[in-house]
Amino acid sequence: MPDVDQLIVLVTLTFLIIGLFSNRIKPVVTFLMAVMIFLIAGVLKPEGFLQGFANQQVSTIVLLVLISAGLRKNFNISLLFDGIFKAANSTKSFLFTMMSFVATTSAFINN
């Protein structure tokens, strides 16, 4: 017989998957609701929830998202990309231009 916590997780994950596929609510809200259900039901302890944010990989991803949002707001990146890819007349020339740009950039900037 499954434990109550297991049933809560199963039901919540089922609704999470349905919510993501139905696309009625934004994914971030859907995940937040699932985490809140886990916190309220006691399946997930607040310490464990906060420890997830202490992980270096999570903080790196958050910082990358914030940096890209800041660049998008403060610089006209679309104008830069229009200048780089304006010579691309076909799909092959676009791919060649993009691969050249990415290869050159990756040589100096670490992933």
Name residue 89's amino acid. Answer: N
The residue with tokens 């270096």 is 56
Region of residue 110 (left: phi > 0; alpha: psi -120 to 50; beta: else)? beta
Global pTM?
A: 0.52
Q: What is the pLDDT of residue 37?
A: 94
Residue 111 has pLDDT above 70, yes or no: no
Distance CA 36, CA 32 (A): 6
**Residue 106, pLDDT above cutoff 70:** yes
Higher pLDDT, 29 or 53: 29
